[in-house]
Chains A and B, each alone.
Chain A
Amino acid sequence: MLSYPFMQNAFLVGTLIAIVSGFIGVFVVARHMSFLSHTLSEIGFAGASFGLFMGWSPLVGMLIFTILSATTIGELGMEEGRSESLISAVSAVAIGLGIAFLALSQKNASAATSILFGSIFSISHENIIQVVILAVIVLVVGLVCYRPLRHFAFDYNTAIFSLKHIVWIEVLFLILMAMTVAISSQIVGSLLIFILITLPASAAMRWGRTVWQMIGLAILFGIVGVWSALILSYWTNVPVSFYIAIIEAGIYFVSLINKDE
């Protein structure tokens, strides 16, 4: 199985994405932004189809769209009260745009499916290099800014008084999140972004007692899910996204049962 180059690529990219999503996911869930991350992935869908329409790689279009909208959100400031309806409106527009660009680009249905549900087995060499570079950037920046990000995500009420450049931290965080969304959707697709960013982190945050424990568990859950899904998908020919979804949701449901001290 591992002698096929497409399987080696899938394992390499999948593992890297599981690490990045687990790391950023913990902060996303702690800061109560999982809904926003989902919206970003819908914006990413619009970006990816725009990329196809322009003849670029979908990942490039996705990055441009998600980063632009993440920084706009940062500029607007996340006002809690109205953000939910705002986010719904934005995601409606994004999906509409995505469908429009897809139709205009005159690609076949498989292009749409791979954006929406992921296509890790057919990932191109160029794409792999892009994903690796982006993942390394996110991880390095995330590690260097670990301390402010941790306070920002886990105790926002004091972080706004304690961190001098809170707006910059917020924008930086949204950009990291946008990049994570863009690379994660290479595996699970933009529709299923919850699977790798939100679910492993949410489960990890019911067991972890320190932020590092939570990050470690989230990465572990992510990797377990991705690896088993790749193997199962190889044997059964059912899409990887399906297995990852089932495994990550399963881990999360088990974590709900856990009520120990």
Chain B
Amino acid sequence: MTVLTGTDVGIKFGQRWLYRHVNFELRNQRVLAVIGDNGVGKTTLIRAILEKQKLTEGQLNWTNQKPVVRYVPQERPDAQDFPLRISEFVSLSFDQGWQPWQTKAEKAQIAHILEDTNLVKLANRRIDRASGGERQRAYLAQALLVNPGVLILDEATANLDNVAKYELMDVVRHYRDHHQLSIIMISHDLEIIQEYADDYLLLKPDGSEFGEVKDLDVTQLEVGNQDHA
């Protein structure tokens, strides 16, 4: 089943088209990798999906009612500034309602998500002292806390070492397998994409490609993307 369909999407900045005629589908419980060179406008497309950016042409259509969408941005300066506990940082997602305290159900939800993201032992650790991988898992837990239908990861594995990035993506995959969750991930990491993504959208100024990752012609990418692999 399709969750989100992009039809003939085009975005123009000033006089310059970032891309035109982009077509793609996000399918239920699948991982869509958005790839392309730096500056091609991957994050801009994400912002359009998040309704923070207008399309110049084309449409983005949710098949059913728009699900809860959670975005894990690449830059998180605030997380390094304050000594909040990881469990407290994760709970920031509870931002609706008037009660200044957490309900019993919410506490249970936090405990549950910490377990799903392997953070139980680190729950009381300071977020600003956590390692890169631990911090990414905390960002992930914060996004998943409100049980979203769509999760968007922006370069989540970019600054992680080889062990940590597989650990993170295993958590993502495991969670996806057990929940109604579809994932869009921006990534430059071909190994990660081939291991964890189902579909890909290759953004290019002239003629973007959409397809299944198993059909992705890796050779054309590796040449262009060596610097940021």
- List the interface of chain A (C-beta within 8 A of B): 30, 143-148, 150-152, 154-163, 205-211, 261
Instruction: Check if A209 sits within 8 Å of B78, measured CB to CB.
Output: no
Binary per-residue interface labels of chain B (120-132) against chain A in the complex, 1 for a CB within 8 Å, 0 otherwise: 0000101001000
Instruction: Check if B82 sits within 8 Å of A158, measured CB to CB.
Output: no
3 closest cross-chain pairs (CB), A and B? A151-B95, A146-B100, A210-B88
Interchain nearest-CB distance for A22 vs B (Å): 15
Instruction: Check if A210 sits within 8 Å of B71, measured CB to CB.
Output: no
A208 / chain B contacts, CB cutoff of 8 Å? 83
A161 / chain B contacts, CB cutoff of 8 Å? 50, 52, 69-71, 73
Instruction: Check if A155 sits within 8 Å of B92, measured CB to CB.
Output: yes
Given contacts A151-B93, A158-B72, 13 further A-B contacts (CB under 8 A): A144-B98, A145-B98, A146-B98, A147-B95, A147-B98, A154-B89, A155-B78, A157-B77, A158-B93, A158-B142, A159-B92, A160-B52, A162-B93
B54 part of interface (Cβ distance < 8 Å): no
Given contacts A163-B95, A210-B85, contact A155 B79 (CB under 8 A): yes
- In whole angstroms, what is the CA distance A163 to B168 when docked? 26
Residue of A nearest to B72 (CB): A158
Interface majority SS on B: helix, strand, loop or mixed? loop
- In whole angstroms, what is the CA distance A69 to B76 when docked? 29
Interchain nearest-CB distance for B107 vs A (Å): 13
Interface majority SS on A: helix, strand, loop or mixed? helix
A207 / chain B contacts, CB cutoff of 8 Å? 83
Instruction: Check if B99 sits within 8 Å of A147, measured CB to CB.
Output: yes
| Residue of A147, A148, A154 touching B84 (CB-CB under 8 A) | A154
Instruction: Check if B95 sits within 8 Å of A150, measured CB to CB.
Output: yes
